[in-house]
Structure 1
Amino acid sequence: MSTTTVDATGELEAIRAVVASVQHAQRNELVDEFVALFREDAIWTTGHGKRLFGRAAIAEFTAQVLPGATAHGTATYEVEHVLFIRPDVAAVKVRQRYFTDAGVLESEGSPMYVMSKEDGRWLLTANQNTPVVAD
């Protein structure tokens, strides 16, 4: 177990900035900006269970699905909880909400982003995008 302390305020701010960048890239359909948030060897599992290994696979998939994705509405991304596994590794629970063009909440997601700090920058490393199913 690590006993190294974490500058929680600064690191949380940096992690929230990455999640805000995810939201910005998704809302504006910016494939390259989205893909740049990932480590080269990142893992991404989509909300439909498609498993993607490495930034190149994530880029290929994103280029197919992101352009035109906002035609039916938009999404918000909010950091709900951060667990620092180590000072340079964090499990980040995100609340994702999808709204129609009329602003009506359509559905929710519950992504888990495992992020690692690489050369002073937090990157998406191992990620699972999970839809929330109503009971």
Structure 2
Amino acid sequence: MNRVADFESEIAAITQVVATVEHAQRNELVEEFVSLFREDAIWTTGAGKLLIGRDAIAAFTRQVLPGAMKGLVPSYEVVHVLFIRPDVAAVKVRQRYFSPAGELLTEQGEGTPMYVMSKEDGRWLLTANQNTGVAANG
């Protein structure tokens, strides 16, 4: 067994989940977004709202996502992965917003979500997540 190849394969799979989050957000695809969560997942929104379970996450997302990305192109970049166990990973993400022309929209701020993912039946899923804005320097 090649441990380096296994590690790289897991990182690629985790990165693909984050890319799917980006795709779902960009295209306001509620069901695609919700499908990335474990049934009993925890999500704390950027505004601090706690959502417990996929049903609560889905209900909230159906209210806020449609129309939310008008004029915005979100970007999600994996910046660090810490494997807590082979099937559990803490994933730090850089979240930024761009205009449709590709200009960084600094007035939107930057996010620094933390996704704890677990591997369930061979698939990485969002399990315990906190969406946090980057604090202003001062």
Show structure 1 runs of 5+ residues with no match: none
Name the counterpart of 1:30.
29
Show structure 2 runs of 5+ residues with no match: none
Deviation at 1:104, TM superposition (A): 2.9
Equivalent position SS for 1:72: coil
Task: State the superposition RMSD in angstroms.
Answer: 1.6
Name the counterpart of 1:113.
115
d(CA) in 2 for partners of 1:88 and 1:18?
14
Deviation at 1:5, TM superposition (A): 9.1
Name the counterpart of 2:129.
127
Number of matched pairs: 132
Name the counterpart of 1:83.
82
d(CA) in 2 for partners of 1:11 and 1:26?
23
The answer as to whether partners of 2:96 and 2:104 remain within 8 angstroms in 1 is no
How high is the TM-score relative to the length of structure 1?
Answer: 0.93
Deviation at 1:6, TM superposition (A): 8.8
How high is the TM-score relative to the length of structure 2?
Answer: 0.91
Name the counterpart of 1:72.
71
The answer as to whether partners of 1:19 and 1:78 remain within 8 angstroms in 2 is yes
d(CA) in 1 for partners of 2:100 and 2:23?
17
Equivalent position SS for 1:22: helix
Name the counterpart of 2:49.
50
The share of aligned pairs that are identical, in percent, is: 71
